[in-house]
Amino acid sequence: MANPNLNFPVTYPPEGVTSKFVNPPNHVLLAYTAVISSLAFSTFFSWFRFLVKLCIVRITHAEDYFIPVAWLGAIGHATMAFLIYDFAPIIHGWDMRLETFGRYLLYFRLSALFYNISALFLKVSMLVQIRRTFVPRGTQPKTSYVLHFLIWANVLYYPTTMCLMMLNCRPLSKAWQPWLTGKCIDMGIIATSTASINLLSDLAILALTQRVIWNIMRIDKKQQLRLSVVFCAGVVPCGFAVLCLIFNVRMMNSSDFVFDAAIMGLACYGEITSGFFVLFLPVVLRFCSHIEKRFQQQKRARAPSRLDFADIGVDGMGSDTEERYEKSLWHISYTQKGGLEGSGEAVWHASHAVVPGKDSREFGFEGSSLSSSESPDF
């Protein structure tokens, strides 16, 4: 398209419909409700988890530092949505001028970049957490190799996709001004492949965790069920990933790109938010067990018939002789000085699902231990 009239609509309206460039019919309530809800829940899920790990569990791991980066990506994603909704809160293409469409495409592309940043760090966080939870230190079961493959596949794929999104047109401005002379790589292929990879990786994470959980031998069925329910939260991002793929294909084959792209964006908000939810859910049990423990301590302290010597360290709560552990940023297992019965060997505790330490259990589970020689395999 060379030197078009930028006052023309992006697409021709259906028969009997007239373009309305000023105050067009829209879904402004749906648009703002979706993006504000996504932003609010993503913020709550990410920082609740971080504060629980920092203030209650009192130890952080690698994924706890990836999650804030994913949150910043979600902030960028939501910011682009607000900029778009300022002039196009889910409207049809025939109600938008070509001149405005250029701005729409620019914000839409930036939104996709922030989405990919958030998705990358969320998936890597999930995979690192799963490896830390279910793969004992010093062992290399099949599960570990599968997790390493998924981590590096995501680390390589998403930056490559983002580079293609930024550099797919010559000149670059043709990406958001399609009427200029030049060449572009078909963005439909990139967008559809990204949605497909998102779905496949979400399904792989879900299937892998369930397989490993039900192959843990030395914890009872009740604990296996509780772990399975916690990690079944991965079904939620899988559902949104399916919607993203469906709407993506629909958008690429639609004559009303403006409207269908906005609908696809709603599903993407849900996918990002559900990713934060999956990472948030494991610490909820730990938080609840902490509150319950505090309540019980206060209840015992008020009981007149009980003597409490915790302040002098008799019950070990304030003792200076508490056990010391060598903690790892990347792994759940720890090496206790002297090891198991003085052997110096590390023991992997399935009941200490994520958190090492004398009373810290991120999932709030109690149970038996699993030696590193009996690691769950894939």
What is the average per-residue pLDDT within 63-82? 94
| Residue 336 in this model has a pLDDT that exceeds 50 | no
Q: Please, which pLDDT band fits residue 87 given cuts at 50, 70 and 90?
A: very high
Lowest-confidence region among 40-54, 227-241, 287-301, 334-348: 334-348
What is the average per-residue pLDDT within 241-256? 87
| Residue 61 in this model has a pLDDT that exceeds 60 | yes
What is the average per-residue pLDDT within 363-372? 42
Q: Please, which pLDDT band fits residue 158 given cuts at 50, 70 and 90?
A: very high
pTM of the model: 0.76
Lowest-confidence region among 149-153, 200-204, 338-342: 338-342
Phi-psi map region of 316: left, alpha, beta (phi>0 left; psi -120 to 50 alpha): left
pLDDT, tens digit, for every residue of 11-25?
988 888 888 998 899
Residue 140 has a pLDDT of 61
User: Which of 158, 163, 233, 231 has its CA nearest to residue 195?
Assistant: 158
What is the average per-residue pLDDT within 232-249? 87
Lowest-confidence region among 213-222, 287-296, 336-345: 336-345
Residue 346 has a pLDDT of 33
Which range of 208-212, 257-261, 287-291 scores highest in mean pLDDT? It is: 257-261
Q: Please, which pLDDT band fits residue 362 given cuts at 50, 70 and 90?
A: low
Give me the chain's average pLDDT, please.
Answer: 78
Instruction: Kindly provide the b/e burial profile for residues 204-235, where b requires at least 16 CB atoms within 10 angstroms of the residue's own CB.
Output: bbbebbeebbeebeebeeebbebbeebbebbe
Whole-number Cα distances in Å, 316 to 191, 295, 311, 313, 327:
57, 19, 9, 5, 20
Q: Contacts from 19-26 at CB under 8 Å and sequence distance 24+?
A: 19/94, 19/95, 20/95, 21/95, 21/96, 21/97, 24/91, 24/92, 24/95, 24/96, 25/91, 25/92, 25/95, 26/88, 26/89, 26/90, 26/91
Residue 95 has a pLDDT of 92
% of the chain with per-residue pLDDT over 90: 33
243 near 322, Cβ under 8 Å? no
Helix then strand then coil, % of the chain, to nearest 5: 65, 5, 35
Burial (0-12, 13-18, 19+ Cβ within 10 Å), 23: exposed
**What domains can you pick out in the chain, each with its CATH number?**
28-292 (1.20.1070)
| Residue 46 in this model has a pLDDT that exceeds 80 | yes
What is the average per-residue pLDDT within 94-110? 92
Residue 45 has a pLDDT of 95
| Residue 304 in this model has a pLDDT that exceeds 70 | no
What is the average per-residue pLDDT within 288-309? 73
Lowest-confidence region among 76-85, 160-169, 216-225: 216-225
Lowest-confidence region among 75-79, 337-341, 360-364: 337-341
What is the average per-residue pLDDT within 141-170? 88
Residue 122 has a pLDDT of 94
| Residue 292 in this model has a pLDDT that exceeds 90 | no
371 near 348, Cβ under 8 Å? yes
Distance CA 71, CA 50 (A): 12
Residue 320 has a pLDDT of 44
Q: What are residue 11's DSSP bridge partners?
A: none
